[in-house]
Amino acid sequence: MQAFYADHFVLPLPTGHRFPMAKYARLRERLARELPQVALLEARAASDGELALVHTPSYIDAVRTGTLAPALQREIGFPWSPAMAERARRSVGATVQACRRAMAGSGLAANLAGGTHHAHADKGSGFCVFNDAAVAARLMQAEHARSHRARGMLRVAIVDLDVHQGNGTAKIFAHDDSVFTLSLHGAKNFPFRKEPGDLDVELPDGCGDAEYLEALERALEEMERRFEPGLVIYLAGADPHEGDRLGRLKLSFDGLETRDRRVLDWAWTRRVPLAFVMAGGYGTDMEATVQVQMNTYRTALGYAARWQSASLAAMPGATVGAAARWHNAAP
Ligand SMILES: [Zn+2]
């Protein structure tokens, strides 16, 4: 299974800044040591043209040149630097590459960062500069249209299980029936003004494993009734964990692992390629956040192996690997 990273583009933060930047490098270090089956690859940067599938040219330009108005820069929550701009592009590039890889027959691939779901078309917010899942969804649709014109528009489900609502993503796709936005999030958590997505599930403070997993089950059933994706982008946020500073929910390590398995299984049983990204995680103990993420990778490896054997079985005479579902009729 391939996973793309960009943590070596270090975004300089002032001392005492509350964003746990070190978690990205730590995840890569642990993956390299403990799960060598995950092939770690440097992400390329998303181009202006790719970003413009979602973002306004003036916003892309202001991020590149460091000319965002101070209030807009503050809303992102990071000070501007050339490294900030580069890193934001690489993080989008990593999700794009993971989607492309999953769509090309491997079935499953990942970004070691990403999940910047608070970014809107014309502004960033809440540690999110560009919306990686949104750009990747639109780019995969464009690439799919070029190579599989007769099969209709690629339909993408963005399954956002970060504890915060994916407000930027919901807004971007508000009038787009070809992308389904599902978000399970804390009702009382940031963002305080939520944007309606295709399916929003609000959870109370203190929500534990059983309640969460039941809500997820119902949400997946409803998505199933309403939408048939040809690609799933999964935001496997670590911030619903009980050890999270910002999450306000109480999921255990086991609960989150069951959550991951449920989503990965949903995609696998329908043979829908899936790319997963890390999204938020603000553990009081950073190692707990990284552990949640490691568990996601360990679970995913099991499914990557299934995709691989299905792909090998389909080999003689097969034109596309792993019998991926391409028949995505436009709505
Ligand atoms: Zn979050």
For residue 60, what pLDDT band results from cuts at 50, 70 and 90? Answer: very high
Q: What values do phi and psi take at 122, rounded to 5?
A: -120, 10
CA of 244 to the centre of ligand 1 (A): 10
CA of 199 to the centre of ligand 1 (A): 17
CA-wise closest residue to 4 among 102, 139, 112: 112
Report pLDDT for 151: 78
- Per-residue model confidence as pLDDT tens digits over 153-199: 999 999 999 999 999 999 999 999 999 999 999 999 999 999 999 99
CA of 58 to the centre of ligand 1 (A): 26
CA of 331 to the centre of ligand 1 (A): 31
H-assigned helices in the chain = 22-34, 48-51, 57-65, 70-76, 82-101, 132-147, 167-172, 209-226, 253-269, 286-313
Report pLDDT for 322: 42
What's the count of helices (H) and strands (E) in the chain, helices before strands?
10, 8
For 120, half-sphere exposure in the C-beta direction (CA atoms, 13 angstrom radius) is: 14
Long-range contacts of the stretch 7-13 (C-beta < 8 A, 24+): 7/112, 7/113, 8/42, 9/83, 9/86, 9/87, 9/90, 10/83, 10/87, 11/78, 11/81, 11/83, 11/84, 11/87, 12/79, 12/81, 12/83, 12/84, 13/78, 13/79
Q: What is the DSSP-derived secondary structure letter of residue 283? A: B
Report pLDDT for 157: 98
CA of 251 to the centre of ligand 1 (A): 14
CA of 117 to the centre of ligand 1 (A): 9
CA of 75 to the centre of ligand 1 (A): 15
Contact of 328 with 153, CB cutoff 8 Å: yes
Question: Using omega within 30 degrees of 0 as the cis cutoff, is the peptide bond preceding 191 cis?
Answer: yes
Q: What is the DSSP-derived secondary structure letter of residue 234? A: E
CA of 220 to the centre of ligand 1 (A): 20
Report pLDDT for 323: 46
**In which residue are the tokens 């709505």 written?**
331
CA of 17 to the centre of ligand 1 (A): 17
DSSP letters, 166-178, are -HHHHHHTTT-TT
For residue 207, what pLDDT band results from cuts at 50, 70 and 90? Answer: very high
CA of 166 to the centre of ligand 1 (A): 9
Which residues in 94-116 are b (16+ Cβ under 10 Å) and which e? Answer: bbbbbbbbbbebbbbbbbbbbbb
330 contacts: CB under 8 Å, gap ≥ 6: 152, 153, 178
Contact of 64 with 85, CB cutoff 8 Å: yes
CA of 128 to the centre of ligand 1 (A): 10
CA of 42 to the centre of ligand 1 (A): 24
What is the spatial distance between Cα 7 and Cα 26, in angstroms, rounded to a whole number?
9
Q: Which helix (H) or strand (E) holds 157?
A: strand 156-160
For residue 152, what pLDDT band results from cuts at 50, 70 and 90? Answer: confident
Contact of 115 with 278, CB cutoff 8 Å: yes
**Average pLDDT across the chain, whole number:** 93
CA of 284 to the centre of ligand 1 (A): 14
CA of 162 to the centre of ligand 1 (A): 5
